[in-house]
Structure 1
């Protein structure tokens, strides 16, 4: 012990002697990082503005002022929150209403049908609408969900969807699906993927007659997370080249969740609901359907368009195969279509829920996914059943219908 002590002390002494050099090096490295964070944005912005001056020499004397204004604007956005930034950068999707507009009061208005019809058109055009501070009850949600579909022209036999895993004698009724993180199908399954992109889906697209409008009200959230994403199927169609669009417009795809929900029923001890689920065609245990790859999104109600636009109707989680193509061809095309949804952030929208004032949303058949893991998140969802998807060759894409330039206009 005595012979080792001097050696150990000597080693500690050498380390102690390095303390100041290491501290100086750490301070120097921190200073470089801070200076890079300060200088790089300024240099990048000034360089970009100088590029404008090449094409427009009249702004040469204003380069510094323009750069400062842009930097103030750029660094002033984060305090607004990701929600407001998302809306700002996604002008083609999403509409938010403040809490002083109560949907429960809209249902009681003398001209309720006219207001709800206008709301249906807005949601169909904007993809999703958010309403803060809602006191909407589960019964109100069911009434509104059905009226949105009826007033936008859905078939008389279409009602509200009954989820396959909704328990019999559920406390809020068959037509209110309780969305809860405690019953996530793959929560503890070791062989499940951790890629959340696989969870993108479109509500009940595996039914012969899928959803039209979805209402969701979240009342329990984790301390952080629990946001939801949407993607714009209209805009995805606009990004297809004309030859590819023409080919896809004649094809159908298989939407299949049979293995998924069969396993879920076993995990939860639930029997799948095999009776009528909002439409006479939505019955049985074969939870799969064939739908057009390019769908005309809704028909017309008394000559009011809702909207009649073309949309790509596939999603990562449920669409398994394009009918009539080889597996390799189908996989390649579905992979490309899913990339258009997943990797074009300018056609996505992210919403941050708040439960302190009872937030709610109305969505036109969205593609939501979640960003939370093992935290409690609970809400009520009502899903309307719409019409059987179809393709109308005379329909327009969203950009042309709104008079916006197309991606291939000059091609």
Structure 2
């Protein structure tokens, strides 16, 4: 029950450097703000927020703390080499009038420019850092490749370009972990493992959702933990709505069976791996989630060369997206080490088999669910067998039942908040 008196509610400052993109991490954070509406006294500090993000928070109306003029992120090779964006963000945070005495706790959401606020947070305030994954552009090469896997530049040069940014990121995290009453959480057992690999923070991935970290005598964290994401189940109804059927009818789809993959056309999402897995099958590929006109044309051309029809979706409404997924033979992803992996849960919600690469968060999301199949990336025969299994009516029905049970029991919004 919401507390009546504002003074009685916990006072929370949420910090996210930017809402320039509206991906899963941003949408989940906005959903959490909506859920906290009436229960917490929430302020949101950000350097860059869009009208779309503000609208998605409604009916919550947290107090916004932001620059009086739009913040411009430094861009270009020189900016990357000199960590200019990180330095500019730190200077911008210093100019904001943040009423620190008003808050009981600070929640940091991983994003460029977020950790740069850390030097200005008074030492007595508890700080939680929700690090869904360490910044992948600093520590991995998967974001520095073209969709077909070819490096955008020599990888040694990429590694050199981001040296200063990596050093700053490591310094900020060390400062965070040296604070009493601080904590660092991933969003899955897998991302918890990544925190250990990247920052040396001890990890036990068998710990339960929201498990508090062990601490030293000064109250500093000795290990990482994880807090599972929230999933708005109302967006993925078990049965098709009239709106969904109407919206899906307006989408151009293959005439025959298809599999769907969700995510921007990219190497990190494994788009081309999914395409190649469909060679010598009767299934077309439906890609939803964006990409440039050139990237879409290249994917369609590669599909034509391989004998696989490819349909790249325009921007879809939520109802249309659900309809496209519900009509699929399977939801498929070859994404490289997803930190959590929402797509299997979305597929489970509408009774569609998820067939996912056995990596990263997908492994933890699907293991034990009894729904769908995990396949090794290079197991060609395994992918073909999985597609065949998804066509068996009894198997499909059993997976759908198990998947919906998993969704209800483990990942309702209330349990993960």
**TM-score interval for Structure 1 and Structure 2 normalised by the shorter chain:** under 0.3
User: With CA pairs under 8 Å and 6+ residues apart, which has the higher RCO, 1 or 2?
Assistant: 1
Output the TM-score relative to the length of structure 1.
Answer: 0.23
* TM-score, normalising length: structure 2: 0.22
